[in-house]
Structure 1
Amino acid sequence: MDWSTLGVVQALGGGADPAADPGTCRVTTPDGHTVDIPAFTGADGRLRARVRHTAPGTYEFTFSAGTTATVEMPAPPPPRRDLTARPGERFLRDENGQPFLWVADTWWYAFSERADDAAFAELVQLRRTQGFTVVQLVAGLYPETTAFTPQAATGGRWSWTPDLSHPDPQWWDDAERRLAAVVAAGLTPAVVGAWSYYLLDLGDERIRRHWREIIARWAALPVLWCVCGEVGLPHYDELTADDLPDRVADLVTRWSAIGAELRRTDPYQRPVTYHPCPAFRHHTSLDAVGDQAEVDLVWMQTGHADRGSVAQSLRALDQARAAEPPLPVVNSEVCYEGIAAGSSATLQRMLFWSHMLGGAAGHTYGAQGIWAFARGRADDPGDVWGTTDWQEAARLPGAAQTGLGGRLLSELRWWEHRPWQSGVAPYATRESPFLPYCAGTGTERVVYVPANSLREPTIGISLALRTLGLRELGAGTWRVDVVNPRTGAVAATHAARVDATGEWELPGTHFATSLPTFEDWLLICRKEGDAA
């Protein structure tokens, strides 16, 4: 494939034994800077190295194995969004300084053969069209399975050779065509190196080589790194061991050391995080690794217990946002749509908007079926959670409505919003999480009202929102759009004239609610003029 279309310069070196350490490559760029990057061996037995295309001109490659190569890049690099986490900010930016809204889908088994290339490409385009910006995927060492099972195969191969002597070049060559399709569509891959327990199976040195393979092949692309999935998780049958805390602590320490080496090896210093495991009350990356490892982005994982996971999720968000220095926070796994016959689209919308208005840097969606590219069969990975076929799961409404949420926020200065619960009455608390949420600035305000069906009934339904008011608005004229978060349609628009009290009440439509229906709704408010 032509890597230059993705902003990557690739050079070929000499022949190499794939079982041998491929070494490194020093690249001199047209501006005279040098980049040191791990080399890798392709399925054709030749060394390769890749760097980011930063300017037109000559790129000189010197492999530690002794060969050299020169690549001419006559054209400027193509546009793309390489992400960075700036110290003290609660959201990501691209390198041009533009805020980046994280709206992710979960494709842990993106390289699985259970999706053919055409169907995979269709899913990529669907998610891009819906408004997603990130895909979370695992580099071959997948969850809910073990080494060399058919479930984890791609073309009958695994990411390592059967004798565990080295990464299988053919598997990686095949896998990165999928990754290239994600990048070409404008989606950012968040690459998880491996699930935690593979460190027990492969050992530290092989996992370090696994990560060097990832960096060698993919660091020149616009990616983010997650050191491992469910950091600290041993084999599933060890979860009842008497010394489980010691086993978890040992894995966390070892994975933290691998993460430190990742940082030293990656010349582009891509943002790094860890995926936590709630089985150990680790609901955030910070819970999991503490001060043992440095993170640029906090990932959360807060359970799959339908509405029972909501309060815990929001408490974990509060805790992560309270950490110093401030970091971007994203719930990377919560309540996949359809998992265990629950977590419907209604809950997906509630989770997205409550997290975003609670100060998250974005949100990750997932659906039972898609994460493992399941075929609706009992031999699918994670079939105990449900047996939905992935192509059916791809069309669940919660995905489109999560993407819609991202598109609606992108029309606002969302990165300037701060949680502002006192800006609406009534408002949600951690004890009563199904009341309204509010965030905004002095000139913008967003309110999300969860569906009545989530609240405790008063007379068969909840009467908690017979009235709904905005508070602490600046005096003047505000445009208040009542927006359907399921479709994006504006159901009503009000010209709210706000006096010095800063208060405004939504006109009532029904004795039990001031909203158009008992479903969930958004109020998107913009200040249009100051008080006369």
Structure 2
Amino acid sequence: MEIQATPWLKVSENQRFLVKEDGTPFFWLGDTAWELFHRLDRENAELYLKTRADQRFTVIQAVALAEFEGLTVPNAYGRKPLLQNGSGQYDPTLPDVSTEGYDYWDHVDYIVDKAASLGLYIALLPTWGDKFNLAWGKGPVIFNVENAKIYGRWLGERYKDRPNIIWVLGGDRPLTTALHFAVIRGMAEGLKEGDSGRHLITFHPMGGYSSSYHVHDESWLDFNMIQSGHGDLNKDNYNLIGMDYYKTPLKPTLDGEPCYEDHPIGFKPERGYFDAADVRKTAYWAVFAGALGHTYGHHCIWSFNQERSPYFIMQWKDAAQRPGANQMQFVRALMESRPFLERVPDQNLIAENYEGANHLQATRGKNYAFIYTPDGLNIKVNMGKISGETVRAYWYDPRTGGFQFIGTYENKGILTFVPPTSGRENDWVLVLDDESMNYPVPGKQY
């Protein structure tokens, strides 16, 4: 059965964004739900998906062979994804698709289809990286070149008629040997053989890296993904995005795993936790640097945590309504309120920038511009970078999606704009529009 609630996706003609099959823009607003298939039953999976759909997310990132002992610990219905072969090893060529009962893959199907009915895409990792590179984690390593291709072909065939699938290879592990590269290439080839190349493919790298570091030139890679990660406050993900943006051949990119809300900073609870201000900052920095969209994450959502501890500080149902999760929709609303596919990063709009936590990031189209200030510091703008003799100026509030009209200005010289408030938790976006375009207020569909 072909699910029709979500159209097929492709790369835009300018190689910078993703678009729907009719050419209209698609904004990736993702959430990391790595253990979704493995840990949630149907009722809770539906609750989670409906919550994220209501919050205007568009992509859910989940793993078939999950990190938390996804081969050996069964799902909510007592089923495992793979059978064991004659040597007692879990075998990717032997998916457990029993004709009796509700098997593991029936559950994956249910969640994928429920997501489609809600307008959500599943960025589906065939496996977490510890199953081919046990750099850390529990594994076990089960993949070689041959079985990776067979498994990829089987997955591709199973989901070939579901438009709401985006394949994500990798899984938070580096490619450090020739075998690792060959396994990933084999899996990609299998996926393409199985689904006839109908779905896009990307690669989820380890923290601090982009897929472009390992596989940018691979023909199967449709767009890049970075993981700016959880190691430091104020991680300059805009530089990682910028490096991808100017690589050739041109391929779109995004931050697919930035700092998670309520994640211990540097993986150490004693250092405190990333908060809503941190996750907003990474979102606007990345998107304004040229990303095709952005992924949010919460530390207790990806794991679907049930027990409080210093490392996982709340239950997942409470985490689903955290401030950062509810505020991500305002990134999407702003980007969709102006012409999308012409947008470029342009730091030349900024006459005077700041370092570190106060870094300003700018993007523009032909007749509009956005400049993000993380802490509400003044913005000095080189005018004349967009069309129009006069511009309308607004402040857009990333915390509420609201706006304040500033005034109308001549589009020349250097102008200084002073945000309504300043300090941590007081981030703002300066919006400049060519007055003659008569755009709606920021955050409203044009």
Calculate the TM-score normalised by the size of structure 1.
0.71
User: % of aligned pairs identical?
Assistant: 25
Q: 2:352 aligns with which of 399, 421, 426?
A: 426
2:327 maps to which residue?
401
Q: Does 1:184 align with 2:91?
A: no
**What secondary structure does 2:297 align onto?**
coil
Q: Does 1:193 align with 2:126?
A: yes
Q: Which residue does 1:69 correspond to in 2?
A: none
Question: What do residues 407-437 of structure 1 show as CA deviations (whole Å, max 9, x unaligned)?
Answer: 2211111321111212134335xx5452322
Q: Which runs of 5+ in 2 are unaligned?
A: 98-102, 133-140, 265-271, 438-446
SS in 2 for 1:201: coil
Correspondence for 1:472 among 380, 384, 390? 384
CA contact (8 A) 2:389 2:434 kept: yes
What's the offset of the Cα at 1:302? 1.9
Q: In the alignment, does 2:99 pair up with 1:175?
A: no
Superposed CA deviations along residues 277-320 of structure 1, whole A, max 9, x for unmatched, are 23xx6x11121235456310101112202425x22x22211111
Inter-CA distance 116–146: structure 2 relative to 1 (3 Å threshold):
closer
Structure 1 counterpart of 2:135? none
Cα distance in 2 between the residues matched to 1:496 and 1:171: 59
Preserved CA contact (<8 Å) 2:125 2:171: yes
Matches within 5 A, 1:137-216: 137-139=62-64, 141-145=65-69, 147-149=71-73, 153-163=75-85, 164=90, 166-169=94-97, 170-199=103-132, 200-216=141-157
Answer yes or no: is the 8 Å Cα contact 1:196–1:229 preserved in 2.
Answer: yes
Shift of 1:138: 0.8
Q: How far apart, in 1, do the equivalents of 2:300 and 2:379 lie?
A: 40
Q: Which has the larger radius of gyration?
A: 1
2:188 aligned residue: 259
1:302 equivalenced with 2:228 (yes/no): yes
Letter in 1 for 2:431: I
2:383–2:414 CA contact under 8 A, matched in 1: yes
* 1:503 corresponds to: 414
Cα distance in 1 for residues equivalent to 2:378 and 2:228: 32
- Give the CA RMSD over aligned residues: 2.4
Per-residue CA deviations over 1:335-361 (Å, capped at 9, x if unaligned) read 111111422110111111111110110
Displacement of 1:470 after TM fit?
5.1
Query: How many angstroms apart in 1 are the aligned matches of 2:71 and 2:388?
Result: 63
Local SS of the residue matching 1:439: strand
Cα 1:416–1:368 shift into 2, 3 Å: same
For 1:61-72, list aligned pairs within 5 A.
Answer: none
The answer to whether the 8 A contact 1:196-1:251 is kept is: no
Query: Pairwise mapping of residues 410-449 of structure 1 onto structure 2 (< 5 A)?
Result: 410-427=336-353, 432=356, 434-449=358-373
Q: Does structure 1 conserve the Cα–Cα contact (< 8 Å) formed by 2:159 and 2:195?
A: no
Q: Which residue of 2 aligns with 1:460?
A: none
Give the secondary structure class of the aligned counterpart of 2:393.
Answer: strand
Contact 2:28 2:59 in 1 (8 A): yes
Query: Which SS does the other structure have where 1:339 is aligned?
Result: coil
Would you say the 8 A contact 1:231–1:255 is kept in 2? no
* Cα distance, 1:520 vs structure 2: 0.6
Structure 1, unmatched stretches of 5+, are 8-78, 234-244, 379-383, 453-464, 509-513
Separation in 2 of the partners of 1:154 and 1:205? 30
Does residue 1:272 correspond to 2:219, yes or no? no
Superimposed CA distance per residue, residues 162-218 of structure 1 (whole angstroms, 9 cap, x where no aligned partner) = 444621111111221011111110011111110123232254444333323322221
- CA shift, 1:82, in A, is 0.7
Deviations 1:55-84 (A, max 9, x none): xxxxxxxxxxxxxxxxxxxxxxxx532101
Instruction: Specify which of 486, 491, 507 is matched with residue 399 of structure 2.
Output: 486
Kindly tell me: are residues 274 and 231 of structure 1, through their superposed partners in 2, closer, same or farther at Cα, counting changes over 3 Å?
farther
Whether 1:367 aligns to 2:298 is yes
Equivalent residue number for residue 315 of structure 1? 239
* Contact 2:32–2:62 (CA under 8 A) maintained in structure 1: yes
Partner of 2:160: 219
Q: Equivalents in 2 of 1:412, 1:521: separation in Å?
A: 17
Question: Which one-letter code corresponds to 2:291 in the other structure?
Answer: A
1:123 equivalent in structure 2: 48
- Distance change (3 Å), C-alpha of 1:192 and 1:144: same
Distance 2:388 2:415 in 1: 10
Where do residues 307-346 of structure 1 align in structure 2 (5 Å cutoff)? 307-308=233-234, 310-311=235-236, 313-340=237-264, 341-346=272-277
Contact 2:150 2:187 survives alignment (8 Å): no
Which residue identity does 2:278 align to in structure 1?
A: L
1:374 Cα deviation from its structure 2 partner: 1.4
Of residues 126-135 and 353-362 in structure 1, the stretch that sits farther from structure 2 once superposed is: 126-135
| Equivalent position amino acid for 1:160 in 2 | L
Q: Among 414, 422, 430, which residue is 1:523 paired with? A: 430
How far the C-alpha of 1:154 sits from its partner, in A, is: 3.4
2:96, 2:105 within 8 Å by CA — same for their partners in 1?
yes
TM-score, scaled relative to structure 2? 0.84
Q: 2:156·2:190 contact (CA, 8 Å) conserved in 1? A: no
* 3-state DSSP of counterpart to 2:298: coil
Q: Is the 8 A contact 2:227 2:258 kept in 1?
A: yes
The residue identity in structure 2 corresponding to 1:227 is L
**1:370-395 deviation digits (Å, cap 9, x = unpaired):** 112111257xxxxx843431111111
1:333 and 1:192 mapped to 2: Cα distance? 14
CA contact (8 A) 1:192 1:226 kept: yes
1 or 2 for the larger relative contact order (CA 8 Å, sep ≥6)? Answer: 2
What count of residue pairs does the alignment treat as equivalent?
A: 407
CA distance 1:408–1:277, shift in 2 (3 Å): same
Task: Please identify, of 263-272 and 519-528, the stretch whose mean Cα deviation from structure 2 is larger.
Answer: 263-272
